[in-house]
Every structure is written in structure tokens, then in C-alpha cells.
Amino acid sequence: MILLISGPSGAGKSTVYHELMRREPQLGFSVSTTTRPPRAGEQDGVDYHFVDMARFTDLLAEDAFLEWAEVHGQRYGTRREHVAAMEAAGRIPLLDIDVQGGVQVLDSCGAEIVSVFLFPPSWEALEARLRGRGTDSAEAVATRLKNARWEVGFAERYDYWVVNDEVDSAVLRLQAILLAESCRRERFSTPPLD
Ligand code: ADP
Ligand code: 5GP
């Protein structure tokens, strides 16, 4: 199983998955590789692997990415080897990636993917969260809001829709999704009784 979470920037993906991971230690966060410069407080190798454009291009040439996309003018990608290492260690990879990457993963990994689109409760709440986060310039907030209108058009591709009105209840709903998915018949390699 791979847990894929997408949603507009500011919807609360990072807030929600940090709490989800605290409660569900079998999840492993897939640390993406990006050309975006680190924000204050972000750590290389923890939040992202921060690289320059030349390194990203080399990785592309090596077919190192399970998916990649250009988002808000920067490149982001998921390394195949990072996902494979988590799976080999028996963990469920959690991918926080944009809709373009989400569609690539849904098309290439199909049945393995449990896909969740995280919505903010309203456009007003999204704008307030982006401004309140204080990490993006007014111009960047405007770009992210404009892109959000386009991103929600991809929500139809995702199996589950979760509205992040309140963190605790959004996380609870994600836990319920994981629990139900773990009981799917297809996830058993053999029946519990032979
Ligand atoms: P994303 O990862 O989707 O870009 P973040 O997790 O960074 O979003 O959240 C954006 C801002 O919204 C942060 O300041 C965060 O504290 C706040 N936030 C997240 N979830 C909620 C919520 N349910 N209610 C109120 N504020 C929230
Ligand atoms: P941010 O710059 O705010 O951390 O992320 C911007 C957007 O890039 C978010 O929508 C996030 O989900 C997305 N993103 C982060 N990592 C990846 C990745 O590896 N691949 C893709 N396609 N998108 C990513």
C-alpha cells in the first residue's frame, strides 16, 4: 500500500500528515527532492532533499523519479529508491505530492495506491491559512490560490475526499481510511484460514 495525499497548498497536508504519522508509526514519509530553496526551519533530508537544477536534471536522466512535476515554478520529484526502501522495510510510504505527480503515480502504480484529496473547508479558509502560515510572499500566496482552482479539478481522480476543517477530525478520518484499506481482501496474500 502507498498512501497518496494531494490537495492545494495551504489545505493543511503537512499539518495533518505529521499528526497522522505520530499516531500511525507504520507510515514512512517519502522525502521528496526539490529545486525549491528551503524555508526557514526546513531541514535538508528531513523536509526535502534540496538540490539545484543541474542535480535534478541528472536524476531525471537516470530515471530516478517515480514521478516528478513542476509546481509553482519549482521542480519536485519522488525518488523510486526511497519508496522501494520503505516498502522493503515493511512501512507504508506516505506521498505528499501535487496533483500532476498524483496522476502519474495513479497511472503507474494503480491498485497499490490509496489516494486522498485533502480539501480546505472554504476558499476563504485556504487564503487565511496561506497568509497565516507566513512562509510565502503576497505574490506567492496569489499564485498558490490561482493554482488551487486548477488543482481541485483533479480531485475526481482520488478515491477519498477529506475536508480539513479541524485537524483532529481530519486525522481521524485518515486513520479510518487506513484501517479500512488494511482489511481489503486484495491486501491478503493468502486467506487467513486455509
Ligand atoms: P500544506 O502542507 O497543505 O501546504 P500546511 O500544513 O502548511 O498546508 O498548513 C497551512 C497553514 O494552515 C498552517 O499555518 C497550518 O498551521 C494551518 N492549518 C492546517 N490545518 C488547519 C486546520 N484544520 N485549521 C486551522 N488551521 C490549519
Ligand atoms: P511546498 O513548496 O509548499 O512544500 O510544496 C508545493 C507543492 O509541491 C505541494 O502541493 C506538494 O504536495 C508538492 N510536492 C512536494 N513534493 C512533491 C513531489 O515529490 N512530487 C510532486 N509532484 N509534487 C510534490
97 lines ligand 2 (CB under 6 A): yes
Among protein residues, the one whose CA lies closest to atom 3 of ligand 2: 9
Ligand 1 centroid to residue 12 C-alpha, Å: 3
Residues contacting residue 99 through CB under 8 Å, at least 6 positions apart:
6, 151, 154, 157
CA distance 148 to 151: 5
More reliable by pLDDT, 102 or 73: 102
Cell of 83: 519508496
Q: SS3 for 96? A: strand
Nearest ligand to the CA atom of 98: 2
Residue-level pLDDT at 111: 83
Q: SS3 for 134? A: coil
**pTM greater than 0.85 (yes/no):** yes
Give the pLDDT confidence of 183-194 residue by residue, as tens digits.
999 989 999 998
Is the separation of the CB atoms in 135 and 42 below 8 Å? no
101 lines ligand 2 (CB under 6 A): yes
Residues forming beta bridges with residue 79, ordered by sequence position? 65
Q: Is the pLDDT of residue 110 over 90?
A: no
Residue-level pLDDT at 93: 98
